[in-house]
Amino acid sequence: MSEHDIAILGAGMHPWGKWGRNFVEYGVVAARTALADADVAWPDIQFVSGADTMRNGYPGYVAGATFAQALGWNGAQVASSYAACASGVTALATARAQILAGFCDVALVIGADTTPKGFLAPNKGERGDDPDWLRFRLLGATNPTFFGLYARRRMELFGATRDDFARVKVKNARHGLDNPYARYKKEVSVDDVLNAPIVSDPLGLLDICATSDGAAALVVSSLDFARRHGAGDPVRVRGISTVTPSYPQTTIELPNFATDSAAGAGAGPEHGFKESIAVRAYNEAGLGPDDLDCAEVYDLSTAMELDWYEQIGLCAPGEAEKLLRDGTTTLGGRVPVNPSGGLACFGEAVPAQAIAQVCELTWQVQGRAEGRQVEGARVGLSINQGLFGHGSAVIVSR
């Protein structure tokens, strides 16, 4: 354990779906669930760290204050963070900094979203120096298109097949069957995945995650507060990474055209961008890939999950397909990946998803993930990335 550790006292979520209601409603449910789980009263929360949504007007841009108002003004300090898909961990990092600096003892971290139908199109406005915006506008490569290009790249580099991608979906669908917060709870076969309509060759409808409404929240505190609160042996946040790429952006070409695709680009002498996200978290926690009992990775597509296996150090480049086929990343295997069901079962509720990953890890190391429990789980890692170079990872342990 280190001086950087904070305690997770409670975790809560609102089920994912397409509910069509105000995102604040979802966030309040998740927050109240996390507070009850922590046995902490709302008036005792000293800091509210909100993960922003860009799709829900001004309240979404100031999520910390929005949720504080909805829960009832209690005088807490607030902050709001935006980092696209990494917003939730950025909000968690903000809360951790406040706690470790001694400015507060206990904080609420919360994110929620209401999403449109279809894929997440780029927002209006100019982002001329954002490689992801350029990808949208110059190539016409919206996210599903880009996922397909990325999958094709894996096939060319490592000999991956559509069957390999389909097995990821089959695994995650099975994992999420009993998850009460998952949107999709239906087992699928490899043939189901292969026969689904093609969205962006080589990926079909079941290879690409949906967009969803949902929310997640965490109550976190100093270790001293946790002890005074009678938490005993709480789950701890051991490491947080919010690194950015460090590779040259001098050309406009794939695979360096977008921050999403930086795995093949050097970020220093040893690591690509996605690898560096995990390395920072490992170094801070004093742990490594061999210490992991489970992981929650951002499976925007089935092919991307395989990339993450390599980028968090579970195997060498090109070996992810074998790891999957051997059952290593399936429940019952050595390191189950996405025991929650992942985005395959949830879909994207952008500011909530990184928090939801940490909720799942919390329940896993507490032994409370009914129907999907990783036996003996003590250490877990979550990882994802957002647009414009936002990376995020969290390591928790008991």
Other CB atoms within 10 Å distance of the CB of residue 286: 13
Distance CA 220, CA 105 (A): 8
Please give the average per-residue pLDDT across 50-76, as a whole number: 95
pLDDT at residue 137, as a whole number: 75
The residues, ordered by sequence, that sit 6+ positions from 208 with a Cβ below 8 Å of its Cβ are 144, 147, 199, 200, 300, 301
* Nearest CA-CA partner of 36 in 195, 219, 261: 219
Main-chain dihedrals φ then ψ at residue 125, nearest 5 degrees: 115, 165
Check residue 230 and give left, alpha or beta (phi > 0: left; psi -120 to 50: alpha): left
Q: CB of 93 within 8 A of CB of 197?
A: no
Please give the average per-residue pLDDT across 146-159, as a whole number: 92
pLDDT at residue 141, as a whole number: 79
Angle of the 302-311 helix axis to the 273-285 helix axis, nearest 10: 50
Q: Which residue has the higher pLDDT, 72 or 276?
A: 72
pLDDT at residue 127, as a whole number: 64
CATH assignment of 6-116+214-233, among 3.40.50.300, 3.40.50.11540, 3.20.20.370, 3.40.47.10: 3.40.47.10
* pLDDT for residue 3 is more than 90: no
* Nearest CA-CA partner of 52 in 85, 80, 24: 80
Please give the average per-residue pLDDT across 370-395, as a whole number: 92
Structure confidence at residue 276 as a pLDDT band (50, 70, 90): confident
170-196 pLDDT, tens digit each: 999 999 999 999 999 999 999 999 999
DSSP for 302-326 reads HHHHHHHHHHTTSS-TT-HHHHHHT
pLDDT at residue 325, as a whole number: 97
* pLDDT for residue 342 is more than 50: yes
* pLDDT for residue 273 is more than 70: no
Q: CB of 255 within 8 A of CB of 307?
A: no
Give the rounded percent of residues in the chain with a pLDDT score beyond 70: 89
* pLDDT for residue 316 is more than 80: yes
Which residue has 């919390």 as its token pair? 362
Check residue 389 and give left, alpha or beta (phi > 0: left; psi -120 to 50: alpha): left
pLDDT at residue 225, as a whole number: 97
pLDDT at residue 121, as a whole number: 66
* Nearest CA-CA partner of 33 in 374, 363, 382: 363
According to DSSP, the residues that pair with 78 across neighbouring strands are: 48
Structure confidence at residue 389 as a pLDDT band (50, 70, 90): confident
The residues, ordered by sequence, that sit 6+ positions from 221 with a Cβ below 8 Å of its Cβ are 6, 7, 9, 99, 105, 106, 107, 229
Please give the average per-residue pLDDT across 34-39, as a whole number: 98
Going from N- to C-terminal start, the domains of the chain cover 6-116+214-233, 131-209+237-397
Q: CB of 85 within 8 A of CB of 385?
A: yes
Give the rounded percent of residues in the chain with a pLDDT score beyond 90: 78
Instruction: Return the amino acid letter for 53.
Output: T
Instruction: Return the amino acid letter for 223.
Output: L
196-255 pLDDT, tens digit each: 999 999 999 999 999 999 999 999 999 999 999 998 899 999 999 998 876 544 444 444
Predicted structure pTM score: 0.93
CATH assignment of 131-209+237-397, among 3.40.50.11810, 3.40.47.10, 1.10.3720.10, 3.40.1350.10: 3.40.47.10
The residues, ordered by sequence, that sit 6+ positions from 352 with a Cβ below 8 Å of its Cβ are 13, 26, 30, 51, 88, 111, 112, 113, 214, 215, 216
Instruction: Return the amino acid letter for 131.
Output: P
